[in-house]
Chain A
Amino acid sequence: MNGPHDLGGQMGFGPVAPELNEPVFHADWERRALGLTLCVSSMRQWPGDENRFTRESLHPADYYSSSYYEIWTKAAERLLVKYGFVTGEELRAGRKLSEGAKPRQMLAAADVPAVLAKGAPYDRPVSLPPKFAAGQRVRTINEHPRTHTRLPRFARGRIGRIETVHGGFVFPDSNAQGLGEQPQRLYTVVFAGTELWGAHSDPSVEVSIDAWESYLEAA
């Protein structure tokens, strides 16, 4: 979706403000928010890509005025309500008011180290040979789905060059909608800065994205 998250090339947000000796967390609630988010993801009740889509679906004014852990928390609340685990009334009251759905699994403290060390790989076998070869010129599609996509707006309808042909990966566009993983081959595609930002942009800049096969056409 063309949401507030799709930030590449947007203007007006001001300078980057790196913080010297930045702590890992700025408040204790951020610690809890990180932990809660990972615990809720570990219930595996919805695809991780739906987490992303839900964050992107916050109203732009809400998205831009929220810190990242706020965005995560708000999205987790929405999904927990959507899937029947908690009610809005419970979140307002801050206590359990009724029985809700039961999760498939719960992350126990003892299992955390192993679960974090294992991660959740997204590579998947694909049977078809790659449609594109390294060095080939391609054009990205110019589509504006209302659903989750990883093709940023700044790189739509642009000519680039295949730099690396990767294996298959879960296709987030379908996975986020609950339509399954539908793995596709992934490519690293490089664009000249001038192709993305116009003839007067910095000629020494190139930008790459990682693009699923269906984002690309031969050019």
Chain B
Amino acid sequence: MKAKLFPLNKLSFKKSLQRFKRLAKLAVLTVALANLSACSSLGVEPWERDLLAKKEMALTASPIDAALDDHIYFSKEASSGGKSFGGGGCGCN
């Protein structure tokens, strides 16, 4: 009896796992779509870009500082990149 039950349980477990996976996929898709539609309500009109257009509001406001910092931390720490390419580039690491 027990031997019979076990494969049944296994089967139902598999089924519920599949169901869960499907649900999870659906949830991820829903969240992604919701995000995208949320994004479309975010943002500004072209004439509202006065502050965003300022140099200091650029994501990388000073590319030179960023390049120098990347080089320092690349050669002194075990991480690199993230914001842009981590890359190779010098024999310093």
Q: Do A and B come from one complex?
A: no
Query: Which residues of B come within 8 Å of A, CB atoms?
Result: none
